[in-house]
Amino acid sequence: MSKVKCGIAVSVDNCVAGHNMTEAKPFGDMPTNLLHRWMFDEPEQHKAELAALTDAGAYIMGRNMFGPSGGEYDKTWQGWWGDEPPYHAPVFVLTRTPREPIVMQGGTTFTFVTDGIESALKQARAAAGERDVSIAGGANVVNQYLAAGLIDELWLHIVPVIYGDGKRLFEGVGMTNLEILDVRSTPMVTHVRYEVK
């Protein structure tokens, strides 16, 4: 049976992005090179982890992860990733603001879901078929799915930096039991894969 998985890069103090996200600063006030540089500086050492980030039949993300939030959409905005996003599968964007789906090159279609996390998951499962669904982020979306008990596996890519302030994982999640399935590290990042009990 397919699973709902989440893989996300975090600081030691659980920050995944800074405040004040804009088109020019997709991670807000947080310097992005520190949290994600392992992906670019050591790709050969992290093949399995990088493959896992883009190996799902469908994805779910929040509006901030799709683009700068606040009010109506800029109808010309099609996400941070250019003409061919890395997903190559349906992506369901949780939002309060309706928008028509956006079909991109390489098989990615962004569908905007305004009726909550359960609806987005139902649509993503249907689109994924036998494949897994990935909760792509950001922190608020991951927290909602964890709090609802809807994530089967959580893969944290923990970077040895403390930001002190930002958008954090695990806020409002409540008691959650995790079982470690795998741990691997380099000087840049520690990958911990958990089963969510």
List domains and CATH numbers for the chain.
4-69+82-196 (3.40.430.10)
Average pLDDT of the residues in 26-46? 84
d(CA 54, CA 197): 24
100 — pLDDT class (breaks 50, 70, 90): very high
Are the C-beta atoms of residues 113 and 92 closer than 8 Å to each other? Answer: yes
Q: ω before 138 within 30° of 0 (cis)? A: yes
Average pLDDT of the residues in 72-98? 87
Q: What's the pLDDT at 149? A: 97
Q: What's the pLDDT at 32? A: 62
Average pLDDT of the residues in 149-153? 98
For 180, the 3-state DSSP assignment is strand
pTM for the model stands at 0.93
Percent of the chain scored above 90 by pLDDT? 70
Percent of the chain scored above 70 by pLDDT? 96
What CA–CA distances, in Å, run from 132 to 4, 22, 71, 127?
6, 31, 32, 10
Helix or strand run (H / E) with residue 51: helix 47-53
Q: Is the pLDDT of residue 70 over 70?
A: no
Q: What's the pLDDT at 121? A: 98
d(CA 9, CA 114): 26
Are the C-beta atoms of residues 146 and 172 closer than 8 Å to each other? Answer: no
Range in 31-40, 89-98, 169-178 the model is least confident about:
31-40
Show Cβ contacts of residue 76 under 8 Å, excluding neighbours closer than 6 positions.
none
69 — pLDDT class (breaks 50, 70, 90): low
